[in-house]
Chains A and B, each alone.
Chain A
Amino acid sequence: MTNEILLSISGLQKAFGGLIAVNQMQFDVHEGEILGLLGPNGSGKTTVMNLISGALQANEGKIVISGKDITNLPAHKISHSGIARTFQLVRVLPDLDCVENIEAGLAYRTKPLWGDAAHAAALELLERIGLAKQAHTPAGDLTYIDQKRLELGRALALQPKLLLLDEWLAGLNPSELQDGIALVRKLKNEGLTIIMVEHVMDAIRSLCDRCVVMNAGAKIADGTPDEVLSDPEVVRAYLGDSHA
């Protein structure tokens, strides 16, 4: 990747009481790439996502997007600097219908849409993520997959430069997984930069340009999917010493 650096993270540290969840994390994300953030459960991936999106405040370190320091800004300001996210446990606005869920993403972004313009844009986006028929269904009544689509739609409504997908493909059946992978690839082709936390190996191999692997809060590998997945340190982190 020769593209410019979009997001740069250095010396990132987060402790919960005595537990150091993220320890001196450091990596860059280039414009237009999909970066996979991997690691065993509890290795700190979601914490890193929460630090980037402003859901949590870092103890130390620096997060810079397009040259702008966003470390420890409140979440709504980080959203205004071009970062949108989905959540590990899907979060829709259950009592609002699908159109309103998308409008939530449209109405408060840097270039807000409201009223008829927002309604039209929301319907268009629902069409794009395949939820046009459920436009007036309360989000809480959707199936799990459709809630995931809706959550992605809301993130896209923010017109982000960088999209954070936290296990967005988890829990899909094989055919839905293929649809999901195709959708993410389409977003990449449209020029979106994506960081994805993921356990689904098929998705990682087919989507990610580069992977960062974490264990116990620290980075243990950084490279193409094939490189990191054959790295003895990574195998040891996932499977234990006897397999390395």
Chain B
Amino acid sequence: MSILKPDFIKPVGIGAVIFAALAFLPSLVDSYYMSLAISIVSFAVLATAWSMFSGPTRYISLATVVFFGIGAYTVAVLGEVLPFPLVLVCAGLAGTVIALLVGFSTLRLAGVYFVIFTFGLTELVRQVVSWYEVNVTREMGRYVFLDITQNDIYWQLLALFAVLLLTGFILGRSRLGFALRIIGEDETVAKHCGIDVTRVKVALFVLSALFMTLTGAIMAPRWTYIDPVIAFNPMLSFQVVIMALLGGPRRLLGPLLGVVPLTLLFEIMTANFPNHFSILLGCVFLVIVYLLPGGVVGLYEKYSAPKKRVLATEQNAKPGGNAA
């Protein structure tokens, strides 16, 4: 791969400078804003990881929280047994194994069946964990008392986001990333071009799930108490889909454009209308799908280059819209 070319070094260099600057945020703002920053970065990782798979393939996955919750639970179970870096490794392994199983068993499903399966999977995993806690450990919730500060969480998430963006950037220039785009365009053609479609899809699904799992693991110490209802809250999956669709899931930095405004909006909504959050979330979802089918990125492309075809992303938005 052409790794040392200027068109690789320049964006990576700029990215590195921005991330280095962001690492100094904790010394500039108070803990309320740090908490907000953690929300933004964690959603940024989730939405970008989601888009890495779902953007090009147009498979709408509602399983984000499955992996996020697995990560969080791994920390709850192993947090006091192993050193934290090892706990993260275990979480990553657990997420990878589940993603492989889910990938090989479901990525042959197409369209709305895949959406429904991933939604059902959330419920399944939550029920299984609940059953285990009730019947085996006989304790429904778990405490996470770890010596990890808010700033540590922020730095870890920031590093994870940097790694994710670098991965996505390299992927976008790799044969694997190109294969995924071809699959998104026409799966039959992809097969006849010699692409092992199932393997490519599973590989990307696993990679995306790995980042989601690690996000859950890093976020777990923030809660101090988790139970299956908190860790596997399907609302999170929907939030991530909305953010990615608002931003534009087919560009690496697209989801970020949806994450920042929506995290702020959700913050305002939970502060002022805690009891109507779900209804408002649904309204936001509808507005985005109907008014901005190509996301913010699509809007930009539409008006900056009217000849470019942005309508293709419409297909992308619809299944998620129906699922809401």
Contact = CB atoms under 8 A, between A and B. Distances in A.
Nearest to A53: B192
Contacts of A93: 182, 185-186, 189
Contacts of B142: none
Interface string B171-200: 000010011011001101111111111000
Question: Secondary structure at chain B's binding surface: helix, strand, loop or mixed?
Answer: helix
Interface string A143-161: 0000000000010001000
A158 B193 contact: yes
Contacts of A54: 191-192
B82 interface: no
A85 B191 CA distance: 11
A87 B178 CA distance: 22
Given A96-B181, A107-B179, A158-B193, 8 more contacts: A85-B192, A93-B186, A95-B185, A96-B182, A96-B185, A104-B190, A104-B193, A115-B2
Interface stretch (A2-10, A71-79, A181-189, A207-215): A71-79
A109 B186 contact: no
Which of A93, A114, A116, A141 has its CB near the most chain B CB atoms (within 10 A)?
A93
B21 interface: no
B186 A112 contact: no
Contacts of A91: 186, 188-189
Contact of A79 (B1, B182, B185, B193): B193
B182 A104 contact: yes
B68 to A, nearest CB: 31
A17 B1 CA distance: 48
Nearest to A108: B194
B312 interface: yes
A76 B196 contact: yes
A79 B191 contact: yes
Interface residues on B, range: 20 to 34
A55 B190 CA distance: 11
Interface residues on A, range: 20 to 34
Interface in A32-73: 53-55
Contacts of B181: 96
B312 A94 contact: yes
Interface of A: 53-55, 74-76, 79-80, 84-85, 87, 91-96, 100, 103-105, 107-110, 112, 114-116, 138, 140-141, 154, 158
B192 A55 contact: yes
Given A96-B181, A107-B179, A158 B194 contact: yes
Nearest to B313: A95
Given A91-B186, A107-B175, A154 B193 contact: yes
A75 B255 CA distance: 34
Nearest to A137: B307
B197 to A, nearest CB: 7
B192 A75 contact: yes
A108 B309 contact: no
25 contacts: A54-B191, A54-B192, A55-B191, A55-B192, A74-B191, A74-B196, A75-B188, A75-B191, A76-B195, A79-B192, A79-B193, A84-B192, A87-B188, A91-B188, A93-B182, A94-B185, A94-B312, A95-B185, A96-B181, A104-B182, A104-B189, A104-B193, A116-B2, A154-B193, A158-B193
Contacts of A75: 188, 191-192
Contacts of A116: 2
Nearest to A78: B192
Contacts of B196: 74, 76
Given A80-B194, A107-B179, A140-B309, A115 B1 contact: yes
Contacts of A107: 175, 178-179, 193
Contact of B193 (A108, A138, A140): A108
B1 A94 contact: no
Interface string B197-235: 100000000000000000000000000000000000000
Contacts of A103: 178
Contact of A109 (B178, B185, B194, B197): B194
Contacts of A108: 175, 179, 193-195
B191 A95 contact: no
Contacts of A79: 191-194
What are the 8 tightest A-B residue pairs by CB atom distance, in nearest-first order? A75-B191, A108-B194, A93-B185, A79-B194, A108-B195, A76-B194, A104-B182, A104-B193
